[in-house]
């Protein structure tokens, strides 16, 4: 059991049949009245974030979220197949569970499959990926007075903003959490 007084960022627990994760918490001790815990919690399955207050003595069952590393193999329509690298078992995952960051994932990349009690609810791609630029406008000479950027299409089809010196065929590193260009990668 996890008491509200022991909440930490990232802690997962069950409440009213829902799996919740603490995003932010704050222990509040007002001058008058009892102490309470102000939290921002995220529903792990739906992704919705709400703010809620708890009594520090409230107790909740701990929810164990399983994170398995699996390799993305291929997609077949709206199903995306991931392979367990130890058992070679194929796991189909629906397109609605992938999330925005999946646009940076290409075949044979290792992702984390998030599940609770055997039910897959999300995919965590690698934090940083190296991808080739397949389409990019040429940079305009002399347009460097400010941090000028241009659109670049990557090999996965995702479009990111990159500096003017990036050209077609270059490899770049991208942060999948923000979708931002980080640096030119070595080939």
Please identify, among 42, 60, 78, the residue that sits at the C-terminal boundary of a domain.
60
CATH of the domain at 175: 2.40.50.140
H, E, C per residue of 12-62: EEEECCEEEEEEEEEEECCCCCCCEEEEEEEECCCCCEEEEEECCCCEECE
| Encoded tokens for 172 | 């770049």
Q: Provide the number of structural domains found in the chain.
A: 3
Q: If DSSP codes are grouped into helix, strand and coil, which group holds residue 96?
A: helix
Domain end (from 10, 44, 60): 60
- Per the structure, the complete domain to which residue 6 belongs is given by 2-60
- pLDDT of the chain, 187 residues: tens digit per residue: 888 888 888 788 988 888 888 888 898 888 888 889 999 998 887 778 899 999 888 899 998 888 899 999 998 888 999 999 899 999 998 888 887 888 999 999 999 988 888 888 888 889 899 999 999 887 666 656 667 788 899 999 899 999 888 888 899 999 988 889 999 887 6
């Amino acid at each position: 059991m996890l008491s509200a007084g022991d909440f930490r960022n990232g802690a997962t627990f069950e409440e009213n049949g829902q799996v919740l994760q603490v995003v932010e918490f704050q222990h509040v001790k007002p001058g008058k009245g009892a102490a309470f815990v102000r939290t921002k919690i995220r529903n792990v399955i739906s992704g919705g974030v709400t703010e809620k207050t708890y009594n520090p003595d409230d107790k909740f069952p701990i929810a164990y979220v399983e994170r398995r590393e699996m390799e993305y193999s291929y997609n077949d329509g709206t199903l995306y197949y991931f392979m367990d690298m130890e058992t070679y078992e194929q796991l189909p995952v629906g397109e609605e569970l992938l999330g925005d960051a999946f646009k940076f994932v290409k075949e044979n990349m290792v992702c984390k499959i998030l599940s609770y009690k055997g039910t897959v609810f999300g995919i965590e791609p690698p934090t940083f990926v190296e991808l080739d630029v397949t389409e990019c406008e040429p940079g305009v000479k002399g347009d460097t007075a400010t941090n000028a950027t241009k659109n670049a299409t990557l090999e996965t089809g995702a479009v990111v903003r990159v500096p003017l010196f990036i050209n077609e065929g270059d490899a770049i590193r991208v942060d999948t959490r923000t979708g931002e260009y980080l640096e030119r990668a070595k080939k």
